[in-house]
A and B are shown apart, each in its own frame.
Chain A
Amino acid sequence: MSKPGVRLRSIASRIFHPDTMEYVIGPVLADLQLECSARQPSRWRRSWVCLRAYLFFWSAVVAHLWRSLIDGSANRTADDQVAMRRVLINAAAIGAIVTAVLLIPGWFNRLGSAARPPTAFDTDIILALLLIPQATPISIPAGMLFGTLWAVRKPATRSIRRLVLVLGIVCSLFSAGMIGWVIPEANQAYRVVVYQKVLRNSRPPEKGANELSWRELRDRINEASTHGGSPETRLSRLAYHTRIALPATPLIFAMFALILVRRPRPLTSCFLGLLLFVGYYTLMVLSRRVADGTLSPLAVAWMPNLVVLALTLRLGINYRVSSRFGST
C-alpha cells in the first residue's frame, strides 16, 4: 500500500514550479505522511489526524497561490498593494451582497405565501442553501465589475491590471465549475426537496435542460438531433452554449472595468458600470425571447458577451487615442 500523499505529489508536480514543489509542497507532504503514518490509539483518531493533515496541505497550497498573486509583480508600489487588497475585498463583499439580494425576494415570497404548505425549518434552510449556486452567474461578474470600479480610483498600473485580469480568469474558471456541474445538481436537488418535502409527492421530477450534467445534456442533444429539430432540442442546445458562454462574463467585465477606471470621475464610472451590468442581463433575456428561432443557439448564447467585448474594445481604443493626443 502506497503512503498517503504520493498521488497528490505526482499531481502537484505537474502543476507547480519545481521550486514550489521543493520548498512548499514537498515539506507539507512529508509532514502529512509522518502524521498519517504515526501510530494512533484508535481508528477514529487516525482518520481525524489524516483529515486535518490533508486540510493543512490544501491551506498551504491556497496560501502559496495567494502569496504568488500578491507578489506577482516585481514593480509593485505600496499604493498598488493597497489597491490589490481593496480589489479582492470589494469583489468578495459585493459578490456576497448581490447573492444575498438575489436570494431575499424568493425567500420572503416563500415565507409570506398563504398557499405555502407547512414545512420544517430545516427544509427551508436546505432550500435556501440550494438556491445560493443559482445566484453565482450574476454575483461573480457583479463582484468583479463593481469591486474593481470601487477599488481602483485612478488609471491602473500594470501590476493592478495584471491582478484584475488574473482574478477575472480565476472567477471565470470558478463560474465554469459552478455553471457546468454545481448548479445543475443544486437545481435538481432543489426540485426533489420541493416535490418530496413540500408538495409531498413521492415521484421525483424529471430533469430539464438546466438540471442535466454536461454528458447528459450532450447525449440528449445528440439523440434529439438524429430525430430532427424540436423546440426542446433547441432549448437544450441553448442551455449547452450558455454554459460555455456565461463563464466568460467575469473576465469580460474585468476588462471593461479596467477601461472604465481611466475615466476621471469614479461615480460616472460606477454609473456606466451599472448601465452595462443591467444592459448585459437585459440583452441576454431579450436575445432569448426575440432572436430565439431566427438565430442559432450559439449566436444567442454569445451575443451579450460579444456586444460587451466590442464595447470594451471600442472604449479602449478611444481612450488610447485620446491619451496619445493629450485630450481629456
Chain B
Amino acid sequence: MPRSPSVLPPKEALILELLIDAGELYGLELVAQSKRKLKRGTVYVTLGRMEKKRLIKSRLEAPPPQAGGMARRVYSPTADGRRVLAAWNELAKVMGRLNPEFAR
C-alpha cells in the first residue's frame, strides 16, 4: 500500500531553524523563542518524534543537587537535520518560483 509522501511539517522545520540558530536549547526555551508558534503541551511529543527521525539529538544535563530533582534534556540539531532543513528550504524556493501560492 502506498504511504503518504514524506514532508517536513512546519513545526519540525521551525524547531530545526531555532536549534540551528541557537546550537542547544531546552523544550521551554524553544517554546519561548518560537513566539507562541510552538505549544508547551505538544513540543516534547514533536521533539521525541524528531529524535526518532534522527533530525535532532538530545542529552541529559546533570540533575539539580536538591533531593528529587530531575535532569533537564537539551536538544541540538544533527547533521541530517541540517541537511534536511537546507533541502526543504531549497525545495520551498523552487516551488515558490513555480507556484507563488506555495511560497505564502
User: Is A27 part of the binding interface, using a Cβ–Cβ cutoff of 8 Å?
Assistant: yes
Contact residues on B (Cβ < 8 Å of other chain), bracket: 20 to 34
Q: Known interface pairs A75-B1, A77-B1, A78-B3. Does A30 touch B42 (Cβ–Cβ under 8 Å)?
A: no
Decide if A60 touches B45 in the complex (CB within 8 Å): yes
In the complex, the answer to whether A56 meets B40 with C-beta atoms within 8 Å is yes
A249 to chain B, nearest CB (A): 31
B70 touches A9 (CB 8 A): yes
Q: Which residues of chain B (45-64) have a CB below 8 Å from chain A? A: 45, 47-49, 51, 58, 64
Most chain A CB neighbours (cut-off 10 Å) among B47, B48, B49: B48
Report if A56-B70 is in contact (Cβ < 8 Å); known contacts: A24-B48, A27-B27, A77-B3.
Answer: no
Residues of A within 8 A of B58 (CB): 23
A63→B67 contact, CB < 8 A: no
> Would A77 and B73 be within 8 Å (CB), given that A23-B47, A24-B45 are in contact?
no
Whether B41 lies near A5 (C-beta < 8 A) is no
Once bound together, how far apart are the Cα atoms of A81 and B1, in whole Å? 13
Within B61-77, the residues touching A (CB, 8 Å) are: 64, 66-73
User: Using a CB-CB cutoff of 8 Å, which residues 45-88 of chain A contact chain B?
Assistant: 56, 59-60, 62-64, 67, 75-78, 81
Q: In this assembly, does A286 line the interface, its C-beta being within 8 Å of a C-beta of chain B?
A: no
Contact with B along A1-43 (1 / 0, CB 8 A): 0110110010000000000100110111111011001000000
Name the A residues within 8 Å of B40 (CB-CB): 31, 56, 59-60
Task: Write the chain B residue with the least CB distance to A9.
Answer: B70
Are B1 and A31 neighbours in the complex by a CB distance under 8 Å? no
The 0/1 profile, CB within 8 Å of A marked 1, for residues 80-94 of chain B is 000000000000000
A158 vs chain B, min Cβ distance (A) = 11
Which residue of A has the minimal Cβ distance to B40?
A56
Known A-B contacts A26-B70, A29-B70, A31-B26; the reply to A77 vs B2 at CB < 8 A is yes
Highest count of chain A CB atoms <10 Å: which of B1, B39, B45:
B45
Q: Tell yes or no: B44 within 8 A of A by CB.
A: yes
Separation in Å of the A9 CB from the closest CB of chain B? 7
The secondary-structure label for the interface of chain A is helix
CB < 8 Å: which of B3, B49, B72 contacts A30?
B72
A23, B1: Cβ atoms closer than 8 Å = no
Q: Judge whether B69 and A28 touch: CB under 8 Å.
A: no
Determine if A27 and B72 form an interchain contact, defined as CB atoms under 8 angstroms apart.
yes
Chain B residues near A20 (CB, 8 Å)? 48
Chain B CB within 10 A, most for which of A9, A27, A56, A62: A27
**Nearest-neighbor residue (CB-CB) of B29 within chain A:** A31
In whole angstroms, what is the CA distance A81 to B66 when docked? 45
In the assembled complex, the CB of B18 is this many whole angstroms from the nearest CB of chain A, namely 16
A24 to B41, CA, bound (A): 10
Interface residues of A in 261-310 (CB under 8 A from B): none
In whole Å, how far is A53's beta carbon from the nearest beta carbon of chain B? 9
- Interchain nearest-CB distance for B12 vs A (Å): 13
Q: Are B27 and A77 in contact (CB under 8 A)?
A: no
Q: Are B72 and A67 in contact, CB atoms less than 8 angstroms apart?
A: no
On whether the beta carbons of B26 and A63 are closer than 8 Å, the reply is no
| Contact surface of B with A, Cβ cutoff 8 Å | 1-4, 26-28, 39-42, 44-45, 47-49, 51, 58, 64, 66-73
19 A-B pairs whose Cβ atoms sit less than 8 Å apart in the complex: A23-B47, A23-B51, A23-B73, A24-B45, A27-B26, A27-B27, A27-B72, A29-B70, A30-B71, A30-B72, A31-B28, A56-B41, A59-B39, A59-B41, A63-B45, A64-B44, A64-B45, A78-B3, A81-B4
- Show the binding face of A for B, using Cβ within 8 Å: 2-3, 5-6, 9, 20, 23-24, 26-31, 33-34, 37, 56, 59-60, 62-64, 67, 75-78, 81
| 17 more A-B residue pairs beyond the given contacts A2-B68, A23-B47, with a C-beta to C-beta distance below 8 A | A2-B67, A3-B69, A6-B68, A9-B70, A23-B44, A23-B51, A27-B26, A29-B70, A33-B64, A59-B42, A63-B41, A63-B42, A64-B45, A64-B48, A77-B1, A78-B2, A81-B4
